[in-house]
Amino acid sequence: MNISKDKFDAIKFKGVKLSWENIEFETHEQLNKFMTDPDQFEADYIGVTVTEMLTSREQAGLVRCCARTKSGSRCRNTIGAAHYNIFIRGMEAASAIRAWAARERSGELCHIHA
Ligand SMILES: [Zn+2]
């Protein structure tokens, strides 16, 4: 679904606020980007990749050890406390997901693999 610039401008002219979370869509490009791929839009807004955003939620805010086991799969041990704010929407979730992604990228190891 796409909204033309004319339609977008007409809706805005009526005083309608088009927003998601605390982001107001200022341009029709912004709104269409959101409508085309909401996950990508949200990940860009947060400043992480889509995979990082989805994985942080899938793992309920827990960071996993980055070591590989002998069979080649990733170690299932978790490290430290979870970033629980991941499930709150808005800015708090954004900073929790950023913090999660920073730890994920740093390649932390569990007590067995350290
Ligand atoms: Zn490990």
pTM for the model:
0.82
- In angstroms, the CA 25 to CA 93 distance is 20
Query: Residue 66 Cα, ligand 1 centroid: separation in angstroms?
Result: 7
**Cβ–Cβ < 8 Å for 3, 32:** yes
pLDDT at 99: 94
**Better pLDDT: 22 or 65:** 65
Query: Residue 46 Cα, ligand 1 centroid: separation in angstroms?
Result: 28
User: Which tens digits make up the pLDDT trace of 59-88?
Assistant: 999 999 999 999 999 999 999 888 888 887
Whether residue 1 is predicted with pLDDT greater than 80 in this model: the reply is no
- In angstroms, the CA 91 to CA 9 distance is 27
- Please give the DSSP secondary-structure letter assigned to residue 62: P
Number of Cβ within 10 Å of residue 29's Cβ equals: 11
Q: Report which of 6, 7, 31, 5 is spatially closest to residue 18, judged by C-alpha positions.
A: 31
Query: Residue 51 Cα, ligand 1 centroid: separation in angstroms?
Result: 21
Q: Report which of 47, 55, 39, 72 is spatially closest to residue 64, judged by C-alpha positions.
A: 55
Query: Residue 64 Cα, ligand 1 centroid: separation in angstroms?
Result: 8
Query: Residue 73 Cα, ligand 1 centroid: separation in angstroms?
Result: 11
Residues in CB range of 85: below 8 A, 6 or more apart: 61, 92, 93, 95, 96
